[in-house]
Chains A and B, each alone.
Chain A
Amino acid sequence: MTEPSRIAPEALEAVAQTGSGFNPLLPGLILLLPLLGFLVNGILALIAGSREGNVLRSAALAEPDSEEERVDLQHKEDAPRRATHTLPTWVGPGVMLGAFILTTLNFLRMLGSGLQDPTVITYWSWMPTGTLAVDAAIQLDQLSMIMMMVITGVGFLIHVFSVGYMKEDPGYPRYFAYLNLFVFFMLVLVTGANFPVMFVGWEGVGLCSYLLIGFWFQDREKADAGKKAFIVNRVGDFGLLMAMFILFATFGTLNYQEIFAAAPTTLVYGGGVVTAITLFLLLGATGKSAQIPLFVWLPDAMAGPTPVSALIHAATMVTAGVYLVARASVLFALAPVSAAAVATIGALTALFAATIALKQYDIKKVLAYSTISQLGFMFMAVGVGAYAAGVFHLMTHAFFKALLFLGAGAVIHSMHHALHATHKDWDAQDMRNMGGLRRHMKWTWVFMWIATLAIAGIWPFAGFFSKDEIIWYVGTSAPFGPLYAVLWGMAVVTAALTAFYMARMMILTFHGPNRTGEAEGKHLHEAPLTMTIPLGILALLSIFGGWINVPQSVRDSFFGGFGMLPMSSWLDEWMAPVTAAADAIRLEQLGAYAYQSPVGGGHVTWGFIATGLAMAVVLAATWYFRSKDVPTAVEQGAPRSGFGKILYNKWYVDELYDRIIVRPVVGISRFSWRVVDRVLIDGTVNAVGAVSKGTGWFGSLFQTGQLNTYAFILALGALALLGVLIF
């Protein structure tokens, strides 16, 4: 006997919750698929793990005469591909494809439904304590849907790329297990319907980031880089936790919906509480998104495999801070000081990182600083209240930066093979050792130029629309007009620097004469199809991805093909339900003011100026570096003097942090160890022990083993007892 109402209570509930016809299709499965992939790959990794260890051990035990023999031995060992290597190839990208298809279906459903309020799906009660009740619930709305599309879409492409890139690594299944786990946690982060669930994802991606940065943990330097990322992120997590505590103390709940609904009435505009909350949130965001002052971990994170850099440290995880600010847009709209702080930190970071990128020679380091710089742009956008613009740049950046990283991965892959084939111990990532690679890697060259033009902000590529929109919004914002004018200037300079260092990277890598060496040059080759096809798709997205959010005036101008573009301001309208509350607060408090550039001119004028500037810089850089004779890394070494040395050494920020934070902490720890722990605590414990021992020794004097002594004491005792009884 079946009751009809028991068949699909979830479905009924979902419809009742939304009230707008958006009926999510198996949203839990989107999260579950990567987790499933993690479990399968994880089991395979455990099976393969012992063999991986054996390979390394036997390579070490064989005591080869030379480095060459050792490497050959390793390669001989992993030559046969077993099931533990072939299965992850299908499971890893397979679950991602499934998740991406499901996400797309849900996206299309949401597109058609005109959803206004977020759909919250509660699975179970996670922490039902007295006053704090936290549900394991996910929230589907426009923001989380865009994020899920980026994560699963770009994530899938990077998984496919990894198949080619990591094929020869003995830790192949372990790699895919981590990567799947990362995607799971990232999805938890963006779909969580309350702060604790989001925090689980937040910490989870941090864990996976740590595991993947230190993926080649036999290398001390790489393991340390993972630790550094983890520890620096803890500082940010402290901020996020503090923000959550204050939120709970203020609202008595941690659910997004309840907090954001109650915030405008509960909190005072510009008041201390909301400012504290948002500043702590900002601290959390700077940690995860590598902004000043917590950006130092991201360049070191490049120690991980390159697809990991593309997925975690460019496209998805590092944008979590931007997501957080956009998610808490209501709170930031209520705290103008914090919002200005967000924008200022973003602008400072963007400019600062861009200057460092000018003088880096490691191709991945250039991209790492470029990522920090672009994240600064996103922070600027969400800081001035242009949340949709921030998310827009997040999306386009995911496309072109993932493409750049994967392209760099293909280059490194090729360089590694070439250097490996001739046993040359040069750095495969140093651009000074490359040059002229376009003759060997035509497709990679083309795709990377597309991404470079996109990130430089040249029409009609994606970056032009997203980045220049941000610069436009930053121009004049409220309530601190002059500050924003300065930030605008910094943003323009950063945009020019971006065009310069990206062109420099491209010229050094792909143009000019080849510097790898005669014998090595023969081994340079294009990457396999599993690597170039994802690059091609990302290149397409880097071209067209910007066309979804073009202001009407631009669309009607030359830049929009005089109205030919299919959409105008689509993303702004799509995001409107998410940002409506924040926009209303800003409108009420700041009045209706127009975003504009501080020096006048409309959208279209500035479009010409921006793309013209970027183009000019790219051409200038191209001309400059092509005419320059580039020495190889071995010939040149590190810059020894001048401003270039300061930039090469990253403004000595790591050294500064070492002096003012790491060393004092180590000093305090040493004091705690030597004085507090060894002297005070150990001393007290030992003293207690010594007293007991002394008392025991004294007592033992009475135990002589002599029967007469005992009898005598017994008699004395009896007499004493008698005396007490009598008197």
Chain B
Amino acid sequence: MLVEALVLSALLFVIGTVGVLVRRNAIIMFLSIELMLNAVNLSFVAFSRYLGIEGQLYVFFVMTVAAAEAAVGLAIIIAVFRHYETVNVDNFNLLKW
């Protein structure tokens, strides 16, 4: 049972990572990050079955933080969209020397 859960978690994580790396749409990248977080949550839950309740505790933490992050992140994306009228991150390259 644990092995299957961990394999699924790893798959989800890799999909999320690749999504962040290859996609250019900020919203999609954001979703991919959520996917990575939830992949980790899945591992936590799987492990907590054998190692104790703390794993599930951390999952709640992660979900809380992810909710806050989503709120802030989406707000930023909306602000950027209002300015550029696009969410393609290739256009956001001002922060460099």
Residues of A near any B CB (own CB < 8 A): 700, 703-708, 711-712, 715
Contact = CB atoms under 8 A, between A and B. Distances in A.
Contacts of A700: 96-97
Interface in B20-67: 20-22, 24, 29
B90 interface: yes
Contact of B96 (A703, A708, A711): A703
Contacts of B89: 706-708
Interface string B48-92: 000000000000000000000000000000000000000001101
Contacts of A707: 29, 89, 92
B93 A706 contact: yes
A711 B93 contact: no
A708 B22 CA distance: 8
6 contacts: A704-B96, A706-B90, A708-B89, A708-B90, A711-B21, A712-B21
A715 B36 CA distance: 13
Contact of A705 (B20, B22, B29, B95): B95
Given A700-B96, A703-B96, A707-B29, 9 more contacts: A705-B92, A706-B89, A706-B90, A708-B21, A708-B22, A708-B90, A711-B20, A712-B21, A715-B17
A707 B73 CA distance: 14
Contacts of A712: 21
Contacts of B97: 700, 703
B3 interface: no
B94 interface: yes
Contact of B24 (A703, A704, A705, A708): A708
A670 B29 CA distance: 67
Contacts of B96: 700, 703-705
Contacts of A708: 21-22, 24, 89-90
A696 to B, nearest CB: 9
A700 B94 CA distance: 14
Nearest to B24: A708
A526 to B, nearest CB: 85
Contacts of A715: 17, 21
A693 to B, nearest CB: 12
A151 B93 CA distance: 83
A715 B21 CA distance: 9
A700 B95 CA distance: 12
A706 B22 CA distance: 12
B21 A705 contact: no
A543 B21 CA distance: 111
A668 B20 CA distance: 68
A711 B33 CA distance: 11
A705 B24 CA distance: 14
A19 B17 CA distance: 102
Contacts of A711: 20-21
A718 to B, nearest CB: 9
Question: Lowest 8 CB-CB distances: which A-B pairs, in order?
Answer: A705-B96, A705-B93, A700-B97, A707-B89, A703-B96, A705-B95, A703-B97, A711-B20
A573 B21 CA distance: 108
Contacts of B92: 705, 707
A42 to B, nearest CB: 58
Contacts of B95: 705
A704 B93 contact: yes
Contacts of B20: 711
A705 B21 CA distance: 15
Nearest to A718: B17
A449 B78 CA distance: 108
A704 B96 CA distance: 6
A580 B95 CA distance: 89
Most A C-beta atoms less than 10 A away, residue of B20, B29, B92, B94: B20
A704 B24 CA distance: 15
B13 to A, nearest CB: 11
Nearest to A697: B97
Nearest to B89: A707
A711 B21 CA distance: 6
Contacts of A706: 89-90, 93
A613 to B, nearest CB: 92
A704 B97 CA distance: 8
Nearest to A707: B89
A707 B32 CA distance: 14
- The listed residue with most B CB atoms (<10 A of its CB), out of A700, A711, A715, is A711
B94 A705 contact: yes
A597 to B, nearest CB: 92
A706 B89 CA distance: 7
Nearest to A699: B97
A712 B17 CA distance: 9
B70 to A, nearest CB: 17
Contacts of B93: 704-706
A702 B50 CA distance: 44
B86 to A, nearest CB: 14
A271 B97 CA distance: 74
Contacts of B29: 707
Nearest to B90: A706
B11 to A, nearest CB: 16
A707 B94 CA distance: 11
B2 to A, nearest CB: 20
B83 to A, nearest CB: 16
Nearest to B22: A708
B73 to A, nearest CB: 13
Contacts of B21: 708, 711-712, 715
B36 to A, nearest CB: 11
Contacts of A703: 96-97
A707 B97 CA distance: 14
Nearest to A706: B93
B44 to A, nearest CB: 18
Contacts of A705: 92-96
B55 to A, nearest CB: 21
A706 B94 CA distance: 9
- Among A700, A703, A704, A707, the most chain B Cβ lie within 10 Å of the Cβ of A707
A715 B17 CA distance: 8
A703 B89 CA distance: 15
